[in-house]
């Protein structure tokens, strides 16, 4: 292989580029990124960066003296791929013929229909999004967050800490229920309420209302299905993310919910791997393709994807480890590993949920399948280790 | 030299946090070696004494960057900067730490008391 092109200049792209060098790849290495920024870390965008505690320089993912001999092409997007000739076309009208390709285009925030162009409505995925939201939070009084996933819950917490009045609207029974299960989601929800977030669960948003101001439409609230109107100066839409795979349509690379990959990140086309939020790797334990949208997912898989590419698919990947997720909300360090939906019981084994400091273990029969820690960092780490080293059971 | 604890009260595989400023973590590895580093991760405010000790490395309990206890070097993001290391001395079965006079690599937002 003489030229490898990594498409997507963020966490998964950078780590895979580094891994290629670590594994002895000496050829040309081009990284294409749609954003004009060098790779930066996204988790703080809803936490310390949004709060103003850290700045842009703190987000950099590269080391100061680092030189993995990368040709950066930033501010240009890949717009198409011909898998047979291995030609990648770019948004600046040029194209590139390469030998190996790493698809690491991540995901984009899902938007709410009929809110395009409405001022005061935000999604949060990029540094530019975070700058725009932070600027508005500085002068706003009331925030409505639509969607109680991790990003929604984190933005709600940060805005509350900044002194805003915050309402979080969630269509399911409680924020985060999809990941941590209903019982523990309710415990975390209560901690949000204790800290001043108004929660409205089981509610559907029908529209974001707006008024005309200075010649353009600006959001002024959110209307729910039952007619309730929640006034707002700023609205944040946190309703999930969609993989950035539109540029691969018609390329011959098989797509589903993301780029469909085998257990090692290999796509349907030899010489092309995919990794990170855009990629749905085959999960033998679950018997299905599964897209992991968390930081450690990209980190654990980058070296595997690089090995698959360099070996032509003959490298045998280590079995995937259960997904580890962290989140910071208010003073709470929330850590989770495993799958709550496999459990038939969940028990609090340390601390008390009401104090915002507890550890809960999820079990299927007697086998632990997931663990949740809230401000139980030390104990959680021991449990995480245990779950990570347990033999994977076919489900 | 800061006295840490009697050697016998820090079994192999365990870590101890010293409440100095900034705090220091002392590790006793499974192979019987003793190491001391700044306790605070260089990425964010996590206690490395709460982390996972494996060989001569400790894995940060929050975001899993690993630090080499001998050199302080970090393996992969999110942490980027090495953690400061200190010298360990055992005298009369008591563990002492000789604090480094190099500047610490504290994470953004964390400062040494009495300094800006
Ligand atoms: C606000 C926020 C908070 C988060 N907090 C946490 C957390 O606390 N814990 C956790 O585990 N995870 C968290 N995550 C998730 C984590 O950041 C992602 O899992 C991680 O960023 C995935 O990395 P990636 O490289 O696969 O994708 P991304 O980071 O999405 O990067 C993909 C890159 O590819 C570029 N790109 C897209 N299309 C093209 C194209 N056609 N051509 C060229 N370039 C393209 C994009 O511009 C982008 O820069 C958070 C995410 C966000 C947005
Ligand atoms: S706090 Fe240690 S890696 Fe993030």
DSSP codes, A281-318: EEETTTTEEEE--SHHHHHHHHHHHHHHHHHTT-S-PP
Q: Which residues contact A1 (CB under 8 A, 6 or more apart)?
A: A25, A27, A99, A100, A271, A309, A310
A215 burial (CB, 10 Å; 0-12 / 13-18 / 19+) is exposed
Q: What is d(CA A312, CA B110) in angstroms, rounded to the nearest whole number?
A: 46
pLDDT in tens, B29-42: 999 999 999 999 99
Cα angle at A196 between A194 and A202, to 5 degrees? 85
Whether B116 has a pLDDT exceeding 50, the answer reads no
8 Å CB contact between A326 and A334: yes
CA B95 → CA A34, A356, B29, B38, B67, distances in Å?
Answer: 53, 36, 14, 16, 21
pLDDT in tens, B76-87: 889 999 999 999
In this prediction, residue A213 carries a pLDDT of 86
In this prediction, residue B115 carries a pLDDT of 53
- Does residue B66 line the site of ligand 2, with CB under 6 A? no
In this prediction, residue A65 carries a pLDDT of 76
Q: What is d(CA A106, CA A129) in angstroms, rounded to the nearest whole number?
A: 16
Q: Which residues contact A223 (CB under 8 A, 6 or more apart)?
A: A205, A206, A207, A208, A209, A229, A230
Pocket test for ligand 1, best of A6, A43, A290 (most atoms within 8 A of CB): A43
Look at phi and psi of residue A302 and say left if phi exceeds 0, alpha if psi is from -120 to 50, else beta: alpha
Q: Is B17 on the interface with A (CB under 8 A)?
A: no
Looking from the CA of residue B42, the nearest atom of ligand 2 is 2
Q: What is d(CA A297, CA B11) in angstroms, rounded to the nearest whole number?
A: 34
8 Å CB contact between A87 and A97: yes
In this prediction, residue B37 carries a pLDDT of 98
In this prediction, residue A320 carries a pLDDT of 67
8 Å CB contact between A83 and A250: no
Quote the pTM value: 0.95
User: CA nearest B79 in A: which residue?
Assistant: A61
| Ligand 1 pocket list (CB less than 6 A) | A 7-13, 32-35, 42-43, 45-46, 77-78, 104-107, 124-125, 151, 244, 247, 276-277, 293-295, 298, 325-327
DSSP A99-134: SEEEE---EEE---TT-TT-BTEE--SSHHHHHHHH
Closest CA to A59 of A77, A46, A73: A46
8 Å CB contact between B37 and B53: no
Which residue has the CA at smallest separation from atom 6 of ligand 1? A43
- Cβ contacts of A299 on chain B, cutoff 8 Å: 64, 76-77
Closest CA to A375 of A341, A313, A331, A344: A331
Strands (E), chain B: 2-6, 14-18, 24-28, 34-38, 52-54, 57-59, 66-68, 85-91, 94-98
Other C-beta atoms lying within 10 Å of the C-beta of residue A56: 12
In this prediction, residue A109 carries a pLDDT of 98
State the average pLDDT over residues B48-65.
Answer: 96
DSSP A223-287: EETTS-EEE-SEEEE---EEES-GGGTTSS--EESEEEE-TTSB-SSTTEEE-STTEEEEETTTT
A172 burial (CB, 10 Å; 0-12 / 13-18 / 19+) is middle
Other C-beta atoms lying within 10 Å of the C-beta of residue B33: 14
8 Å CB contact between A375 and A327: no
Q: Is B70 on the interface with A (CB under 8 A)?
A: no
Closest CA to A126 of A8, A222, A287: A8
8 Å CB contact between A205 and A169: yes
Query: Would you write out chain A's pLDDT as a tens digit for each of its 395 residues?
Result: 899 999 999 999 999 999 999 999 999 999 999 999 999 999 999 999 999 999 999 999 998 777 789 999 999 999 999 999 999 999 999 999 999 999 999 999 999 999 988 999 999 999 999 999 999 999 999 999 999 999 999 999 999 999 999 999 999 999 999 999 999 999 999 999 999 999 999 999 999 999 998 889 999 999 999 999 999 999 999 999 999 999 999 999 999 999 999 999 999 999 999 999 999 999 988 899 999 999 999 999 999 999 999 999 888 777 667 889 999 999 999 999 999 999 999 999 999 999 999 999 999 999 999 999 999 999 999 999 999 887 655 44
Q: What is the ipTM of this complex?
A: 0.92
In this prediction, residue B22 carries a pLDDT of 95
Name residue A291's beta-bridge partners: A280
8 Å CB contact between A343 and A336: no
3-state secondary structure of B7: helix
Whether a cis peptide bond, with omega within 30° of 0, leads into B22 is yes
A295 and B63 in contact by Cβ < 8 A? yes
In this prediction, residue A321 carries a pLDDT of 77
In this prediction, residue A391 carries a pLDDT of 67
């Amino acid at each position: 292989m003489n030229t490898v092109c990594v498409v997507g200049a963020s966490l998964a792209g950078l780590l895979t580029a580094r891994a290629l060098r670590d594994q002895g790849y000496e050829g040309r290495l081009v990284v294409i990124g749609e954003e004009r920024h060098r790779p930066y870390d996204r988790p703080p965008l809803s936490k310390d960066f949004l709060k103003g505690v850290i700045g842009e320089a703190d987000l950099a993912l590269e080391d100061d003296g680092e030189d993995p001999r990368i040709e950066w092409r930033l501010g240009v997007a890949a717009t198409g791929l011909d898998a047979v000739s291995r030609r990648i076309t770019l948004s600046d009208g040029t194209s590139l013929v390469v030998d190996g390709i790493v698809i690491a285009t991540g995901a984009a925030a899902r938007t709410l229909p009929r809110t395009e162009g409405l001022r005061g409505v935000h999604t949060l995925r990029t540094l530019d999004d975070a700058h725009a939201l932070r600027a508005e939070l500085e002068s706003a009084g009331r925030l409505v967050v639509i969607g109680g996933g991790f990003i929604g819950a984190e933005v709600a917490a940060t805005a509350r800490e900044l002194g805003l009045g915050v309402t979080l609207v969630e269509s399911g029974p409680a924020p985060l229920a999809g990941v941590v299960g209903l019982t523990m989601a309710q415990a975390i929800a209560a901690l949000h309420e204790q800290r001043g977030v108004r929660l409205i669960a089981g509610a559907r948003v029908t529209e974001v209302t707006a008024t005309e101001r200075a010649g353009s439409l600006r959001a002024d609230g959110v209307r729910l299905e039952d007619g309730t109107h929640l006034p707002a100066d700023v609205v944040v839409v946190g309703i999930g993310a969609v993989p950035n795979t539109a540029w691969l349509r018609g390329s011959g690379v098989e797509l589903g919910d993301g780029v469909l990959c085998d257990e090692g990140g290999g796509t349907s086309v030899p010489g092309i791997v995919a990794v990170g939020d855009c990629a749905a790797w085959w999960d033998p334990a679950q018997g299905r393709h599964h897209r992991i949208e968390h930081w450690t997912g990209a980190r654990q898989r980058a070296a595997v994807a690089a090995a698959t590419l360099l070996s032509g698919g003959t490298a045998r990947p280590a079995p995937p480890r259960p997904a580890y997720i962290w989140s910071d909300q208010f003073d709470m360090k929330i850590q989770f590993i495993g799958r709550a939906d496999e459990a038939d019981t969940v028990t609090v084994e340390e601390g008390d949920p009401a104090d915002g400091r507890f550890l809960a273990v999820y079990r299927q029969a007697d086998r632990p399948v997931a663990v949740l820690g809230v401000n139980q960092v030390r104990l959680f780490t021991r449990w995480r280790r245990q779950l990570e080293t347990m033999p994977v059971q076919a489900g | 030299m800061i006295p840490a604890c009697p050697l016998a009260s820090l079994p192999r595989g365990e870590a101890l946090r010293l409440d100095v400023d900034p705090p220091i973590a002392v590790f006793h590895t499974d192979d019987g070696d003793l190491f001391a580093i700044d306790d605070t991760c260089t990425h964010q405010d996590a206690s490395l004494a709460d982390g996972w000790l494996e060989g001569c490395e400790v894995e940060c309990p929050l975001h899993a960057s690993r630090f080499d206890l001998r050199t302080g070097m970090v393996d992969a993001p999110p942490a980027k900067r090495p953690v400061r290391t200190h010298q360990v001395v055992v005298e009369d079965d008591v563990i002492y730490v000789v604090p480094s006079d190099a500047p610490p690599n504290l994470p953004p937002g964390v400062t040494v008391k009495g300094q800006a």
